[in-house]
Amino acid sequence: MNNASNDDRLADLAPEDWNEIDVGTRIDLNGKTTYHVLTSDRRVGYFVEKVYNDKQSLVRILKRGKNSRSETDFSPETGDVVRIFEASTLPDGNSMTKEIVYGGDRCTETVVIVGISGELIRTVQRESVGLRTLYQGQTDYRKDGVPSATINHTMDPKNGKLAHREQIRWLKDGHRALTEHFFFTSNGAVTKYTKVLYHACGGPFIEETHRYAESGPMLRREIIQYNPAGVQTAADLTMYDEKGDVTERSTTYYDHRGAAIARHTGDCPPAESWLEEGEQILRQMGGEDIDLSQSFDHSSSPGASF
């Protein structure tokens, strides 16, 4: 059984398959409106209105089909398209509206999807220059209309590549539960990652930030904790070398006013450093010259390969 809608079959028709019939004209003080019908041998078509101003410049085209309609507005001075609005019924029964507004060299696009029962399902927003998208955001909603997840993408205007990604998880009361930020280089590598968990009342609870080297490994991790009033209570900082070994760690505690009251620091040298120190201690104790690094050569130990 063919479940394609009339509009879907219309989309398959080539321009030469259309027959445009002029069905009337209306003239008033504001200008002229002509009415047309687009038909084909498949007995499907659109009803079209063309609106002209008092200077006979085309300012709007309205198109209506069985399951869709659209409006296109033109600039009366230049004839350029300044706005496109479309409304249609999707194959799953949901309704979609889309509006594109052009201004200068930029355009903004808004898409709204509504369910069969009228509930809001999804919203999408885009901003672009020509064919290059600069920003795109999408929010999905629960059946009660409260947002559940949001994903925002920001592109580098110079090369069009992804520069920033934001992910938001929402609570049922509309407050944020989790926010994640990813920052990328022009090569697509992550340079910074931030994750924020929120109190039930809406304020930040824990903020964790990772910073990465250009080659990929993480160099710094910082975890900050806040009280329900938004005051910082503790901060933990861990530094890594390019091999991924911990080189430094510190923890700072703050009072209810946000002033530092205690700080603990510790150096965490790489494994090679403390192995050398262990060898020196054994020599001082009169032991034989022992290379401790050989004891930790997992590649030569039984069961090292998995």
Consecutive 10-residue averages of pLDDT for the chain (306 residues): 43 58 67 70 71 90 89 92 94 94 91 92 93 93 91 92 95 90 91 92 88 87 91 92 86 87 69 46 48 40 36
pLDDT of residue 292: 39
pLDDT of residue 302: 37
111/125 Cα distance (integer angstroms): 6
Nearest to 87 by CA among 107, 103, 64, 108: 64
Taking a C-beta distance cutoff of 8 angstroms, is the pair 218, 205 a contact? no
Taking a C-beta distance cutoff of 8 angstroms, is the pair 111, 97 a contact? yes
Which H or E element spans position 170?
Answer: strand 162-170
Nearest to 84 by CA among 97, 70, 103, 66: 70
pLDDT of residue 186: 86
pLDDT of residue 138: 96
113/95 Cα distance (integer angstroms): 6
Model pTM score: 0.69
75/187 Cα distance (integer angstroms): 40
39/47 Cα distance (integer angstroms): 9
Counting every residue written for the chain, the total comes to 306
DSSP bridge partners of 192: 183, 211
If you ran DSSP here, which 8-state letter would residue 54 be given?
A: T
156/186 Cα distance (integer angstroms): 8
Instruction: Specify the 3-state DSSP secondary structure of 122.
Output: strand
Taking a C-beta distance cutoff of 8 angstroms, is the pair 191, 184 a contact? yes
108/125 Cα distance (integer angstroms): 7
